[in-house]
Amino acid sequence: MADIRVTKFAKVLIEHSARVAPGDRFLLEGTTAAEPLLRELYIQMLEKGAHPHLMMTLPGAMPFSQDELYLTYAKDEQLDLTPTFYKLAYDQFEGRIRVHSATNTRGTTNIDPAKLQRRGKALAPITEAQFRRGAEGTFKWVTTLYPTDAYAQDANMSLEEYENFVFGAVHANENDPVAFWKSVESKQQAAVDYLKGKSQVVLRGPNVDLTLSVKGRKFINSFGTFNMPDGEIYTGPVEDSANGWVKFTYPANYNGVSVEGAELTISNGKVISARAEKNEQFLLKTLDLDEGARYIGEFAIGSNFDIQRFTGNILFDEKIGGSFHLAFGAGYPETGSVNKSAIHWDMICDLRTDSEILVDGELFYKNGQFVFEK
């Protein structure tokens, strides 16, 4: 019997997140492990009068490349090729839905970092098209996840526990999940309205002492239109404004590699020193991928208190209520960010103990809660 939660999950993605309209051409990305959700998305898109184009790949964690198979056997000229059909879709289609559905999240752990970086550069035009067209309002994109054994193991859960966690986080258990996500929009808008026109942000706590400028930048209310699940507000800070240090309290995962205990010092916007307790060389090499990789493309505050445990997957972990995260590399143009890079690497820090955020000298956030006067 089909899981009604999958049907509701697809409905949220199509009606709320991707806002699929008749005539829209949509790319559906996912692996064979996500077949139940991809099948339901395909059916519901057809029922909407849209044109779904299903690009189903072999199981793995990285889109476009068939993961470790491609990275193991491809020669340099193959690694340098921007995937033809994906590039066409990102340039011309009205949108895409990506369903992460890895069956081995460690598949690229032993791949030569130089190969990962080379492939990252080849994929950069796709990322650029997504961000640029998304900011223009001509490309509707959303990223989500289908539960697999691999993700469950990373989260230290059984598959059944993890399925319940995922379906609960996207609120597929609700009678009307679309209405729930619209209520999230309303609650977060108060913080976004308060931040409009503000200039300086100061973060203080046991793991952070950082100042950055958001002058002229726009905070985005993120309530399920780009990520599902969701629950954050974010912006792109002024590129040369950040000064201070931060030690990220959760592992920072990227391309199947987990960097633990990452501590960065930032001066005039640029990471000038970086260390880590685990996989430090990977951290350093990734930050050296291109000029933009050492600058902050995103500053965000997680506000989803339905997500309170670290799972090893950034789609959920960056939304943890009471945390903030910085993404190094590419920024979102709709925020005003002009930082460009082949990477967008989110790193998360807890703010629930002895921590605060000041905005233009006024207390905005304290120990994981918004405290500004409305």
pLDDT at 326: 97
Tell me the CATH number for domain 4-169.
Answer: 3.40.1830.10
* pTM for the predicted model, two decimal places: 0.81
Triad 220, 263, 241: Cα angle to 5°: 45
Give the start-end residues of each E strand in the chain.
25-31, 51-57, 95-100, 140-145, 200-205, 208-213, 220-222, 232-235, 243-247, 252-254, 257-259, 263-267, 270-275, 296-302, 323-329, 344-350, 356-359, 362-366, 369-370
pLDDT at 64: 58
pLDDT at 159: 96
What the block records as the tokens of 297 is 């493309």
Domain boundaries, the chain: 4-169, 187-370
Of 54, 76, 362, 97, nearest in space to 225 by CA: 97
Residue 325 near residue 302, CB atoms below 8 Å: yes
Q: Per-10-residue mean pLDDT for the chain, 374 residues long?
A: 88 96 97 95 98 89 68 92 95 96 83 84 90 91 95 95 94 91 92 96 98 97 94 97 97 88 98 97 94 97 89 92 96 93 94 96 95 83
pLDDT at 72: 87
CA dihedral 11, 14, 16, 18 (to 10 degrees): 160
